[in-house]
């Protein structure tokens, strides 16, 4: 049996060399993208853990009913197979003078000045994307890696990484020789919205209009309340927010901890810009969480 397998391998090598076939494409065809594993979802545990964490953050009792999550169990399972976790974004506003006990890493003063002058919309400071209604979202918990000359990778990222690899192999998004084809880096804000997020939505089985990048206020809250490790990596991530400037509209990115401001660092760049220091994470808006 081993001899037969080796013979087939030798024949395949000869064919690859003779026809000029990309060997990595052969491997991709022979070893398909792994299917995500099914996960058990416990609404009681989600409600209890979410209520405890948010009560501590906001300094007031926050309770969630397990049955409120039940209409979304199938969607939660599909997203959880990609490593995403469920969280609730309450209709809270992150004003500069807010005194939430768990809000240690705050928003930079620059954000408030841009809201005041109208360059950022007032909704920039609203935690829930559904206005005065609580939103159930699925969040990518992975920690940002440290910069390694563009070679850094998010851990345990086979599923989304496989989507990115296919898009690069097919020329949909540009490929750089020194960057792993599965890397979340060196992808522009526009490419994420036009090509990457639609493919992730299709793979997860969610509507395209339900998936996007986290807004700055969402990233800030989630990192304070659940994922302080997001500040450990010294690379950046794109945010969904866009800000008006005298020379046009720019997109926010950031995500490192600013010791000077004790806040989430934030910068702006063109939507077309690609940087091997800027990655991304998806967020899925499942819908309103019933009371």
Q: Are residues 78 and 146 in the same domain?
A: yes
Domain that holds residue 97: 59-288
- What's the DSSP call for residue 124? G
The DSSP bridge partners found for residue 138 are 86, 284
Together in a domain, 116 and 26 = no
Do 12 and 67 sit in the same domain of this protein?
no
Distance CA 41, CA 257 (A): 33
- 196, 164 contact by CB (below 8 A): yes
**Can you give the pLDDT at residue 30?**
53
* pLDDT at 32 exceeding the cut of 50: no
- Stretch 252-257: mean pLDDT: 93
Residue 285 Rama label (left phi>0; alpha psi -120 to 50; beta): beta
As a whole number of Å, the CA-based R_g of the chain is: 21
How high does pLDDT run on average in the chain? 91
**Are residues 75 and 26 located together in one domain of the fold?**
no
The tens digit of pLDDT for each residue in 49-65 reads 999 999 999 999 999 99
Strand bridging mode 236-245 / 278-279: parallel
**Using an 8 Å Cβ cutoff, are 155 and 145 in contact?**
yes
- Do 14 and 75 belong to one domain? no
In this structure, the answer to whether residues 181 and 90 fall within a common structural domain is yes
pLDDT value at residue 21: 56
Q: What angle do CA 261, 262, 268 make, to 5 degrees?
A: 55
Between residues 37 and 107, which one has the greater pLDDT? Answer: 107
pLDDT tens profile 167-195: 999 999 998 899 999 999 999 999 999 99
**How many domains are contained in the chain?**
2
Token output for 283: 């967020």
Q: Which one, of 210, 155, 167, lies nearest residue 191 by Cα?
A: 167
Q: What is the dihedral of CA 11, 12, 16, 21, to 10 degrees?
A: 150
pLDDT in tens, 190-219: 999 999 999 999 999 999 999 999 999 999
DSSP state of 192: I
pLDDT attached to residue 163: 97
One domain for residues 17 and 68: no
Q: How much is the average pLDDT of 214-234?
A: 95
Domain contains 153: yes
Gap between the Cα atoms of 162 and 200, Å rounded: 10
Q: Strand 106-107's sheet: what is its strand order?
A: 106-107, 263-269, 248-258, 236-245, 278-279
At residue 43, does pLDDT exceed 60? yes
- Best CA proximity match to 190, nearest among 281, 255, 274, 284: 274
Would you state the pLDDT for residue 259? 76
């Amino acid at each position: 049996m081993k001899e037969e397998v080796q013979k087939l391998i030798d024949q395949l090598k000869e064919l690859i060399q003779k026809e000029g076939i990309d060997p990595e494409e052969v491997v991709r065809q022979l070893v398909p993208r792994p299917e995500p594993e099914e996960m058990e979802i416990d609404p009681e545990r989600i409600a209890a853990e979410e209520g405890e964490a948010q009560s501590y953050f906001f300094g007031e009792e926050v309770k969630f009913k397990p049955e409120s999550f039940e209409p979304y169990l199938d969607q939660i399972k599909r997203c959880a197979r990609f490593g995403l976790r469920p969280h609730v974004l309450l209709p809270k506003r992150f004003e500069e003078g807010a005194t939430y006990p768990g809000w240690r890493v705050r928003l930079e003063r620059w954000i408030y000045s841009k809201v005041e002058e109208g360059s950022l919309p007032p909704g920039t400071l609203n935690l829930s994307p559904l206005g005065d209604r609580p939103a159930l979202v699925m969040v990518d918990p992975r920690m940002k890696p440290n910069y390694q000359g563009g070679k850094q990778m998010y851990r345990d990222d086979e599923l989304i990484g496989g989507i990115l690899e296919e898009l690069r192999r097919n020329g949909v998004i540009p490929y750089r020789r020194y960057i792993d084809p599965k890397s979340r880096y060196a992808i522009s804000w526009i490419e994420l919205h036009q090509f990457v997020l639609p493919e992730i939505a299709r793979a997860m089985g969610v509507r395209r209009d339900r998936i996007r990048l986290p807004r700055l206020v969402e990233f800030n809250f989630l990192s304070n309340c659940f994922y302080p490790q997001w500040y450990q990596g010294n690379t950046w991530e794109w945010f969904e927010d866009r800000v008006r400037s005298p020379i046009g509209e720019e997109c926010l990115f950031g995500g490192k901890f600013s010791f000077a401001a004790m806040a989430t660092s934030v910068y702006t760049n063109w939507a077309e810009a690609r940087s091997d220091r800027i990655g991304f994470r998806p967020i899925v808006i499942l819908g309103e969480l019933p009371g």
